[in-house]
């Protein structure tokens, strides 16, 4: 058999590689769903705590009251743990044979910070997103239920929350809500939901793709196939055969190319 023919990946291998990507995407979706549920739960608990303390609306800050602050921080630590544990479970711990090296390659330092450090930073910023929404709700006299509903609906853009916008109109001080040096409102378009979603689904994706490489240890090379019809010059360029040294599990964030080993 000519060598070239032997190098062509079989239909069954292609099918399996594509199926593996489908399973990976399902794991990412599961991460996304869990993240949303955890953040909703954290918001619910923190709103309950905040309303309980009856801080004057115009002065609402978690730091206004030591116990309030501590209770809110406890919820944030709970949120951090849930995200960390779920990302671990969905990315690699479920394989049961991960080594410290593998765990480090995904959860260890990357561009100066570990997964846990970024997770902590984003969760604490989420607390301030909530603080802004709670302060706004207190200013306009919105109920806990209404506030929670609108927080959930605006996870991806907390400062377009109508409660927040209304409070800014009603009271000019709300436009300058400040806490720990973070100002809310105008010009802020990123959300911590988006940051945490990116962080956690990427870890899940990396874990799966690392495992896919490990499963084919000893291969000499691999074929890269486009997994979507979305225009991407990078993935178009990378389609085709590569020596094994070039395997990196994906060509960019959210890459859905699939890889068949030879
Ligand atoms: Zn790709």
Q: Which of 13, 25, 6, 86 is nearest to 250 (CA)?
A: 25
Q: What is the pLDDT of residues 65-121, one digit of tens each?
A: 999 999 999 999 999 999 999 999 998 655 555 556 667 778 888 889 999 999 999
**CA gap 169, 155 in Å, rounded:** 21
Query: What separation in Å is there between the alpha carbon of 17 and the centre of ligand 1?
Result: 13
Distance between Cα 242 and ligand 1 center (Å): 14
Report the separation in Å between the CA atom of 239 and the middle of ligand 1, taken as the mean of its atom positions.
8
Asked if residue 175 has pLDDT above 50, the reply is: no
Tell which residue, 256, 253, 254, 257, has the closest CA to residue 239: 257
pLDDT per residue over 17-51, tens digit each? Answer: 999 999 999 999 999 999 999 999 999 999 999 99
Confidence of residue 170 (pLDDT cuts 50, 70, 90): confident
CA of 224 to the centre of ligand 1 (A): 8
Q: Is the pLDDT at 60 greater than 90, yes or no?
A: no
pTM beyond cutoff 0.75: yes
Segments making up each domain of the chain, as ranges: 3-21+210-261, 26-196
pLDDT tens readout for residues 140-169: 999 999 999 999 999 988 888 889 888 877
Q: CA–CA separation, 55 vs 138, rounded Å?
A: 9
| Structure-token match 């306009």, residue found | 140
Distance (Å) from CA 233 to ligand 1 centroid: 9
Quote the pLDDT of residue 23.
Answer: 95
**pLDDT tens-digit profile of 176-225?**
454 444 455 544 557 999 999 999 999 999 999 999 999 999 999 999 99
Question: Is the pLDDT assigned to residue 122 strictly greater than 50?
Answer: yes
Classify residue 66 as exposed, middle or buried by CB count within 10 Å of its CB (0-12, 13-18, 19+): exposed
d(CA 46, CA 76): 9
Residue 236 Cα to ligand 1 middle (Å)? 8
Q: What is the pLDDT of residue 108?
A: 85
Alpha carbon of 215 to those of 65, 112, 169, 212, 218: distances in Å? 53, 29, 58, 5, 9
| Cα 251 to middle of ligand 1, angstroms | 5
Q: Give the DSSP letter of residue 187.
A: T
What's the CA-to-centroid distance between 128 and ligand 1, angstroms?
35
């Amino acid at each position: 058999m000519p060598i070239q023919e032997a190098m062509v990946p079989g239909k069954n291998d292609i099918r399996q590689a594509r199926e593996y990507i489908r399973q990976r995407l399902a794991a990412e979706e599961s991460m996304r769903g869990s993240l949303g549920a955890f953040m909703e739960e954290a918001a619910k608990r923190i709103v309950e705590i905040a309303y309980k303390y009856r801080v004057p609306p115009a002065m609402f800050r978690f730091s206004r009251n030591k116990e309030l602050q501590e209770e809110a921080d406890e919820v944030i630590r709970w949120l951090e743990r849930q995200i960390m544990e779920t990302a671990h479970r969905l990315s690699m711990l479920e394989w049961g044979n991960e080594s410290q090296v593998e765990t480090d390659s995904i959860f260890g330092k990357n561009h100066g910070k570990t997964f846990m450090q970024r997770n902590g930073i984003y969760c604490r910023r989420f607390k301030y997103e909530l603080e802004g929404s709670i302060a706004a709700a207190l200013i306009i006299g919105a109920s806990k239920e209404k506030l929670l509903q609108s927080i959930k609906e605006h996870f991806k853009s907390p400062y377009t929350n109508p409660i927040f916008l209304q409070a800014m109109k009603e009271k000019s001080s709300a436009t300058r809500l400040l806490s720990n040096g973070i100002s809310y409102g105008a010009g802020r378009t990123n959300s911590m939901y988006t940051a945490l979603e990116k962080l956690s689904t990427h870890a899940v994706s990396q874990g799966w793709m690392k495992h896919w490489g490990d499963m084919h240890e000893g291969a000499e090379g691999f074929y890269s196939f486009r997994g979507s019809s979305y225009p991407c010059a990078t993935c178009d360029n990378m389609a085709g055969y590569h020596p094994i040294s070039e395997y990196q599990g994906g060509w960019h964030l959210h890459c859905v190319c699939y890889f068949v080993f030879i």
